């Protein structure tokens, strides 16, 4: 796995780091595809920004941040304008650990996964027996096919679809939070031992951050009061990744109610941490994670279900195990199977050609993204001035 030194998320650690827990807790914001490291012993690299056009695509992903992203080479995320409230897991900068893409023999790997387009086409095409995949960091920019000489694109979905022929379809369902049902639970048990914390029972309800608009979250919103009135502790989101994971790890329930719709990375994290997730599946993109028994649409339904489960601990454990099984299948096993089949196909059939017409189309795609970015900035400026 590889990311650029201008990427505003994921891990900040040296290339030699092999400890999955250390890598996880170094994240600037999110858990991300930590299952690659914890469950598959994947190597992780931070590469220096290249000048090739395709590796500059990051500038058009979140255009309002573009002027500041290069600061990440020698500043931590919280030092960037508008990001002061962030609490990155590592005090180190990308520049302390980044290397050039030429320093790595990518041919030693079966599969290389790039966050955004970290490796230029000229490097990717040099290794005909390695499967190269990229995932655009922002999920709403998942592409319909692989570009820039890469073999496959990862779309951040997890619908259970398995790719069988990448020549016909090279878009793979692969979630940003790639992990097993117990990946984070195992890592946090390791963390608790390191902190010499005695094992404690799970209690309370962790409120998913998007249930409220407050940032950072400091208070329980009014619509969660019925749970507080019942005597359930309401646990709030923490800015630092280690603190937040620990809070969810110790919670018995994870509830999303109200607020904006979400993609569901936090849901996958909560399930992997061993908390039981309750929410309306219509308010999450990864609705496949919300099993029927945990689908609630109102706070009254949530209060009633929690009350029932408190009286029936065996049903609570059954539902928790069921959620973790679904997560393992859809967020780990099936995406991995797609990658494996595509790798076998590439090694059997050879690398797909990258003719002039495709190179031209990809350059046009970059130009289109640049135009969209300028429109986004213009509309944002109008909105600010209107306000």
Residue 185 has pLDDT above 70, yes or no: yes
pLDDT at 384 > cutoff 60: no
Residue 216 vs residue 334, higher pLDDT: 334
Q: Read off the pLDDT of each residue in 209-220 and give the average, rounded to a whole number.
A: 93
Same-domain check for residues 81 and 25: yes
Residues 270-281 have a mean pLDDT of: 98
What is the pLDDT at residue 199?
76
Which of 285, 302, 327 corresponds to the end of one domain? Answer: 327
pLDDT averaged over every residue in the chain: 95
Helix (H, G, I), strand (E, B) or coil at 193: helix
pLDDT class for 386, splitting at 50, 70, 90? low
Q: Give per-residue burial for 287-322: e unless 16+ CB within 10 Å, then b.
A: ebbbeeebebeebeebbebbeebeeeeeebeebbeb
Q: Is the pTM of the predicted complex or chain greater than 0.85?
A: yes
What DSSP assignment string belongs to 269-324? HHHHHTPEEEB-GGGBS-GGGS-GGGB--SHHHHHHHHHHHHH-HHHHHHHHHHHH
For 229-251, write each residue's pLDDT tens digit. 999 999 999 999 999 999 999 99
Q: What confidence score (pLDDT) does residue 385 get? A: 58
Q: Does residue 209 form part of some domain?
A: yes
In a domain, 167, yes or no: no
Which CATH number fits the domain that encloses residue 286?
3.40.50.2000
Together in a domain, 37 and 110: yes
The answer on pLDDT for 142 being more than 70 is no
Based on the fold, state whether residues 46 and 138 are members of the same structural domain. Answer: yes
What confidence score (pLDDT) does residue 140 get? 64
Portion of the chain with pLDDT greater than 70, in percent: 98
Q: What percent of the chain has pLDDT over 90?
A: 91
Is residue 366 included in any domain, yes or no?
Answer: no
Decide if 271 is inside a domain: yes
Q: What is the mean pLDDT of residues 29-47?
A: 98
Q: Which of 149, 172, 197 is the last residue of a domain?
A: 149
**Terminal CA-to-CA distance of the chain, rounded, Å?**
41
Mean pLDDT for 196-202 is 84
pLDDT at 387 over 60: no
**Inside any domain, residue 312:** yes
Structurally, the chain folds into a number of domains equal to 2
Q: 121 and 199: one domain?
A: no
Judgement on whether residues 21 and 132 belong to the same structural domain of the protein: yes
Structural domain span for residue 93 = 2-149
């Amino acid at each position: 796995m590889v990311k650029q030194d201008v990427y505003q998320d994921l891990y900040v650690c040296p290339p030699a780091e092999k400890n999955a827990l250390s890598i996880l807790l170094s994240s600037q914001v999110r858990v991300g595809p930590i299952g690659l490291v914890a469950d598959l012993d994947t190597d992780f690299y931070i590469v220096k920004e290249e000048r090739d056009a395709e590796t500059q695509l990051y500038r058009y992903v979140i255009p309002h941040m573009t002027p500041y992203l290069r600061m990440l080479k020698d500043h931590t995320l919280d030092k960037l304008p508008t990001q002061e409230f962030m609490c990155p897991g590592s005090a180190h900068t990308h520049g302390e650990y980044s290397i050039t893409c030429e320093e790595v023999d990518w041919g030693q790997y079966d599969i290389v996964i790039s966050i955004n387009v970290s490796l230029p086409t000229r490097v990717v095409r040099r290794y005909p027996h390695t499967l190269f995949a990229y995932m655009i960091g922002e999920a709403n920019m998942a592409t319909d096919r692989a570009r820039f000489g890469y073999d496959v694109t990862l779309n951040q979905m997890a619908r259970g679809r398995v790719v069988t022929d990448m020549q016909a379809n090279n878009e793979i369902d692969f979630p940003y939070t790639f992990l097993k049902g117990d990946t984070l639970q195992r890592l946090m048990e390791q963390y608790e031992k390191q902190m010499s914390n005695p094992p404690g029972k799970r209690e309370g309800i962790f409120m998913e951050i998007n249930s409220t608009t407050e940032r950072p979250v400091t208070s329980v919103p009014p619509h969660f009061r019925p749970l507080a009135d019942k005597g359930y502790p309401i646990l709030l989101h923490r800015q630092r990744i280690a603190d937040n994971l620990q809070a969810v790890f110790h919670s018995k329930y994870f509830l999303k109610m109200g607020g904006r719709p979400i993609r569901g990375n936090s849901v996958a994290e909560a399930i992997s941490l061993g908390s039981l997730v309750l929410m309306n599946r219509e308010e999450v993109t990864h609705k496949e994670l919300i099993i029927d028994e945990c689908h609630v649409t109102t706070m009254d339904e949530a209060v009633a279900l929690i009350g029932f489960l408190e009286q029936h601990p065996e049903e609570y454990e059954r539902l928790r195990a069921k959620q973790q099984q679904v997560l393992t299948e859809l967020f780990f096993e099936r995406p991995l199977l797609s990658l494996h089949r595509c790798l076998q196909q590439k090694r059997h059939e050879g690398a797909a050609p990258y003719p002039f017409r495709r190179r031209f189309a990809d350059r046009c795609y970059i130009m289109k993204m640049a135009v969209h970015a300028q429109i986004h900035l213009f509309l944002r400026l109008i909105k600010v001035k209107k306000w």
